Amino acid sequence: MTSGIRFAAAVLILTAACFAQEGLTVRAKGKQTWPAAEAQKIYRSACAVVQREFGANLSVEPSVLFVIGADKNEVEFGQQEIWLKNWDRNAFAQRVVLVTFGDVMHDRRAAIGKRAVTWADATLEVERAGH
C-alpha cells in the first residue's frame, strides 16, 4: 500500500509541477501559483492576435514553456521559454506575442532577407546615376 501512495503522490507532484495544455507547458518553481485557465486563454489569444496582425495563413500556436517562479523575467527565444518571477498577465501576454512572432517570422526570415538585398541592389544611388 505504501508504494501505491508514493506513486500517487509522485503523479500529483509531477502534474502540479508541469501543467501542459496543447502548445503551452507550465513549470512552477517553488510554491508559485498561476491561474491555469487564464494562462491558457491569454496564450491562445496572443497567438490569434499575432496570426491576424501578421497574416499567417495557418494556425499559430508554438510550443512554449512557461516557467513561473524564475529568478528573472525574460524570454529565451532559442528554447521558446518564458520566464517570470511571479504571475503577471500583461507580462505573460507580451512574452507570448514575442515568441509567437518569432515563430511566424522564422519561416519568412530568409525570404524577407533576400527581398531586402534585392531592393538594395535595385536602388540607384544619385551619385552613381550622375556619372
Task: Give residue-wise pLDDT tens across range 61-84.
Answer: 899 999 999 999 999 988 899 999
Q: What is the pLDDT of residue 12?
A: 37
Long-range contacts of 88-94 (CB under 8 A, 24+ apart): 89/38, 89/42, 92/39, 92/42, 92/43, 92/66, 93/42, 93/45, 93/46
Residue type, 21: Q
Asked if the structure places residue 8 within a domain, the reply is no
Q: What is the pLDDT of residue 58?
A: 74
Asked if the structure places residue 9 within a domain, the reply is no
Asked if the structure places residue 127 within a domain, the reply is no
Q: Which pTM value belongs to this model?
A: 0.70
Among the listed residues 88, 53, 57, 52, the one whose alpha carbon sits nearest the alpha carbon of residue 70: 88
- Number of structural domains found in the chain: 1
Asked if the structure places residue 73 within a domain, the reply is yes
Residue type, 38: E
Parts of the chain with a pLDDT under 70: 1-22, 56, 125-131
Asked if the structure places residue 13 within a domain, the reply is no
Phi, psi of 2 (to 5 degrees): -65, -40
Domain assignment of residue 77, given as a range: 18-121
Among the listed residues 31, 40, 20, 27, the one whose alpha carbon sits nearest the alpha carbon of residue 92: 40
Asked if the structure places residue 6 within a domain, the reply is no
